[in-house]
Amino acid sequence: MLYLKSGFPEESELVLCTVTGVQHHAVFVKLDEYDKTGFIHISEIAPGRVRNIREYVAEGKKIICKVLRVNQERDQLDLSLRRVSEYHKRQKANQIKQEQLAEKIIEFAAKELGKAVKDLYPAVIIPILKTYPYLHPCFEEVVTAGLSLESLGIDKKIAKALEALIRQRIKPPQVEIEGTLTVVSYEPEGAEDIKTILSVVPKDGMGIKYVGGGKYQVSLIDKEYKAAEERLAATVEKVMMAAKKAGAEASFARDEKGKKQKGQQQEKSKRKNR
């Protein structure tokens, strides 16, 4: 990564590291996001007894660790590899990919503007980090909220070039929720009644697919989970009313994918508001 944070990471923070040395009872690493080194005791490598430390790490390997203790007087960081869950590894890896994408956009902007990356980068990141913890959340708001980079103190010409590249290369975040709609009619014209009932499902951003046995898979895509959930609830209510009017039976059940995405977006909102 192009930018190194100043100071020390906080305790419990997840950090990307490069293994620089492996000994019998310890691993030494360099933090990729800070100008710091860290230490991992063998007891923090993996759960249970570790017989051969090299089965888990090797010089040059990238690993994601959790900061256990920070001793600023000794310039010492104690880290853990075993206390990082697979979920948090994926979360941190995704954040790193997003930052790499943001940095790549700055590289493209430098080329367009005829500037050296090392000269353009500080002119962009220093104003941004006064408000945002990283580049990507700022760039994402350019796409989703129409944020002006010039309003953050970035030169007008640089801001214009960056914003054009950001809109080309960063897609607005989307959520997808799904569920199963069951509609059954025992009336003589039941098939036609069901078609009429399902006609109330809007086509814009919503899909419906017959899966058999009177069941239909309904999916909806939106920018925000709350908005998607409200649209889905309103659609289901319309279907229920249409079914009741036609003398048909109808029910709806959300699937686990939507519930999982809800949890992920709520967690993202919490992190953003910290």
Residue-wise pLDDT tens digits, 26-56? 999 999 999 999 999 999 999 999 999 999 9
CATH 2.40.50.140 maps onto the chain at 14-83
pTM greater than 0.85: no
Q: What own/partner pairs with CB < 8 Å and gap ≥ 24 does 20-23 have? A: 20/59, 21/59, 22/53, 22/54, 22/57, 22/58, 22/59, 23/53
CATH 1.10.150.190 maps onto the chain at 87-169
Six-digit token string for 233: 């609830």
What letter represents residue 71's amino acid? N
Six-digit token string for 217: 């898979």
The overall average pLDDT reported for the chain is 90
Confidence of residue 256 (pLDDT cuts 50, 70, 90): low
What is the share, in percent, of the chain residues with pLDDT greater than 90? Answer: 77
Residue scoring higher pLDDT (172 or 246): 246
Q: Has residue 258 got a pLDDT over 70?
A: no
**β partners of residue 210:** 216
Lowest model confidence (mean pLDDT) among 16-25, 36-45, 161-170, 265-274: 265-274
Q: Helix 135-144 crosses helix 86-113 at what angle (to 10 degrees)?
A: 70
CATH 3.30.70.1130 maps onto the chain at 175-273
Q: Has residue 274 got a pLDDT over 50?
A: no
Q: Has residue 259 got a pLDDT over 80?
A: no
Q: Which ranges of 82-152 would DSSP assign to H, the alpha helix?
A: 86-113, 117-128, 135-144
Distance CA 51, CA 42 (A): 9
In the sheet with 215-222, reading across from the earlier edge strand, the strands are: 206-212, 215-222, 175-184, 249-254
Distance CA 77, CA 66 (A): 10
Q: Has residue 266 got a pLDDT over 90?
A: no
14-83 CATH fold: OB fold (Dihydrolipoamide Acetyltransferase, E2P) (2.40.50)
Q: Assess contact for 240 and 198: CB atoms under 8 A.
A: no
Distance CA 16, CA 36 (A): 11
Q: Has residue 106 got a pLDDT over 80?
A: yes
What is the tens place of the pLDDT at every residue in 199-248?
999 887 788 999 998 999 999 888 788 888 999 999 999 999 999 999 99
What is the tens place of the pLDDT at every residue in 55-74?
999 999 999 999 999 999 99
For domain 175-273, give the CATH number. Answer: 3.30.70.1130
Confidence of residue 257 (pLDDT cuts 50, 70, 90): low
For domain 87-169, give the CATH number. Answer: 1.10.150.190
Q: Which ranges of the chain would DSSP assign to H, the alpha helix?
A: 86-113, 117-128, 135-144, 156-169, 190-198, 225-246, 256-273
C-alpha distances in angstroms, 165 versus 40, 105, 114, 116, 208?
40, 7, 15, 17, 35
pLDDT for the residue numbered 77: 98
C-alpha distances in angstroms, 57 versus 60, 148, 172, 247?
9, 44, 37, 65
Q: Assess contact for 69 and 11: CB atoms under 8 A.
A: yes
Confidence of residue 271 (pLDDT cuts 50, 70, 90): very low
